[in-house]
Structure 1
Amino acid sequence: MSDQRRWVARLTPWFFLAVPLAFLVTFTYVPAANLVAYSFTKWDGFSPAKQFVGLDNYAQLFTRPDLFRVFFVCLYYLAAAAVQVGLSLYFATVLSFNVRFRNFFKGVLFFPYLVNGVAIGFIFLYFFQPGGTLDSVLRLAGVHGQHLWLGDPDLVNWSLAGVSVWRYTGLSFVLFLGAIQSIPAELYEAAEIDGANRWHQFRHLILPGIRPTLSLTVILCVSGSLSVFEIPFIMTGGANGSTTFVIQALKLAFQFNKVGLASAAALVLLLLVLLVTWVQRRIAPDEGVTAL
């Protein structure tokens, strides 16, 4: 092969990658760099002048109680994420075996994830109304009274986190089900011949086999818990102590015109997601199917 053909062969992939890389740099890395720069300034988003304030924006995020409260709100969604992973793994394991109406139950579990988030928000607004659907169900169970599910600061975040579990369990369920069904059937047959029951199959066969998927699902759930926005924004707008990271950043930037402080909040959120991902990868690195 001549030198000219060799250079053409080397440069051809870069010609195809030039446009995607240009879009990636323009719409991802440049805005990210601007975000970092804005986080060290006091800027209203309109004025051409930006006042450099150093780490003052970050100090405000961690010292002002009204801004620091969002860290505690995330704990509700992290608890909901743990419930979501447990439920989805349980249903995926049960429905991976030959049970009656399993295709029907698969559809029931996955359907909420297909529904538009705005529609879910309005549906559950009626569900959580005082004297509404949830209170009517509770009265049938002997619990009387009208509860302010979205108006009580002690209940609102639990209610919103419960909606998140209902909506996103189907996604985790599908990921787990696909991973479980990818395990060779011969391993199940060998386990049954050796006298392994369902619990032993789950512990020694399914869990090791789906470890990469479990790791991915945990990362998605944790990052989603930190960046939750749609459901609380539609249902409460962040009222009654339900403000999340993203809602707070939006309000700071577009309601109070504090773009520098909002940029710092967004950057802290990004760093938290990256930190949680790194810690999770260190604790439970991806591995293939381990030997039984």
Structure 2
Amino acid sequence: MSNHALRTATRARSRPAPKRRPRLGERQAPYVFLVPMALLFLAFKLYPFGYSAWLSFTTGSEETYVGLDNYTRLFGDELFYQALRNTAFFVVIQVPVMLLLALVLAVALNSALLRLRRTLRLVFFLPIVMGLVAYGILFGALFANDFGTVNALLADLGLPRVNWLGDPLTARFSVILAMLWHYTGYFSVIFLAQLQSIPDELYDAAATDGAGAWQKFRHVTLPGLRPAVVLTAVMATAGTLQLFDEPYVLTNGGPDGATTTIGLYMYLNGFTYFDFGYASAIGWVLTAIIGVIALVQVKVLGRER
């Protein structure tokens, strides 16, 4: 074989085979598999959102269009403002306390000095598995005035009974205690996952520079936890703004409306008074509030220091 023929054969062997263009059916196959999920999303997400938006501009069982009447009524509704103040109370008190406890718990569960760390992580995470109604009933039994476990312990110690769910202030704190028990372990797991992603080299470098335990926590741990702080703050705030199950099961919004949240007030208007248009308007105002607060939190907490 001549040199020219050899070079031609070598180039032919080294030349990549032409790519086969996928047939029409092969190009459509991935989209076919997405169809069931798209239909479910349309039926159970987009349609309810759109329908509730339409309902917020209507009134009555015949869905008569009334324009912005529901929204103007809402901004003049003193009960709505009371529910807004109650919800703000839970957000301002419960969210910072819960996130602080979750952070302390995560740091403790991440310590190499702690024995049975895996078992303790499971124990603190377990409350989130319990259903909302079930643990609401549990705390209702704990804080019951006549036969509650907490009052029984107080009586055994010679202390007076406390009307936990019948007094406005103690009822609020009973709801907060229930939420702390249920959600703190869940958020501590998020902090723990972020803690374990911080490189050990940063702590070694800080120790080389003479940093103590507090300096390491302040200058290494806290900056490394920023993504988890932003995530948990947004999740906890949004969840508390939608608070419904705990006050509904524990106090039914009482006493005297002291634990009626926006979520509970929306439920009462929709499923007790059957004013679905007004309830939808409340829901969309709540959605706007959550969106604005979440945006502010992301901007403020996610800012580089």
| Displacement of 1:19 | 2.7
Amino acid of the structure 2 residue aligned with 1:212 = P
TM alignment of 1:6-85, pairs within 5 A: 11-44=28-61, 49-78=62-91, 79-85=93-99
The 1-side partners of 2:37 and 2:77 are apart by: 42
The 1-side partners of 2:276 and 2:59 are apart by: 7
Residue of structure 2 aligned with 1:92, choices 74, 81, 106: 106
| Displacement of 1:180 | 0.1
The 2-side partners of 1:63 and 1:70 are apart by: 13
- Identify which range, 270-279 or 129-138, moves more after superposition: 129-138
* Equivalent in the alignment of 2:302: 285
Amino acid of the structure 1 residue aligned with 2:95 = A
Report if aligned partners of 1:95, 1:102 keep a CA contact under 8 Å in 2: no
The 1-side partners of 2:207 and 2:226 are apart by: 22
The 2-side partners of 1:119 and 1:286 are apart by: 39
* Equivalent in the alignment of 1:133: 149
Report if aligned partners of 2:125, 2:189 keep a CA contact under 8 Å in 1: yes
* Equivalent in the alignment of 2:9: none
| Displacement of 1:140 | 7.3
The 1-side partners of 2:153 and 2:211 are apart by: 41
The 1-side partners of 2:292 and 2:27 are apart by: 37
| Displacement of 1:274 | 1.4
Amino acid of the structure 2 residue aligned with 1:109 = F
Deviations along 1:14-67, one digit per CA (max 9) or x if unpaired, are 3332332222122211211111111011123xxxx2222222212222222122
The 2-side partners of 1:101 and 1:2 are apart by: 58
| Displacement of 1:146 | 2.0
Compared CA separation, residues 16 and 122, structure 1 to 2 (3 A): same
> 1:159 is paired with a residue of what secondary structure?
helix
The 1-side partners of 2:303 and 2:131 are apart by: 32
Unpaired segments of 5 or more residues in structure 1?
none
* Equivalent in the alignment of 2:8: none
Q: How many residue pairs end up in the alignment? A: 283
Report if aligned partners of 2:80, 2:262 keep a CA contact under 8 Å in 1: no
Q: TM-score w.r.t. structure 1 length?
A: 0.87
Q: TM-score w.r.t. structure 2 length?
A: 0.84
The 2-side partners of 1:140 and 1:194 are apart by: 55
Structure 2 residue 190 is the aligned partner of structure 1 residue 184: no
Compared CA separation, residues 215 and 195, structure 1 to 2 (3 A): same
* Equivalent in the alignment of 1:211: 226
Amino acid of the structure 1 residue aligned with 2:183 = Y
Report if aligned partners of 2:253, 2:264 keep a CA contact under 8 Å in 1: yes
Compared CA separation, residues 95 and 197, structure 1 to 2 (3 A): farther
The 2-side partners of 1:119 and 1:16 are apart by: 38
Deviations along 1:218-237, one digit per CA (max 9) or x if unpaired, are 01100111011222111122
> 2:289 is paired with a residue of what secondary structure?
helix
Structure 2 residue 147 is the aligned partner of structure 1 residue 110: no
TM alignment of 1:115-264, pairs within 5 A: 115-130=130-145, 132-138=148-154, 144-240=159-255, 241=257, 242-264=259-281
Percent identity for Structure 1 against Structure 2: 32
Report if aligned partners of 1:61, 1:265 keep a CA contact under 8 Å in 2: yes
Amino acid of the structure 2 residue aligned with 1:41 = T
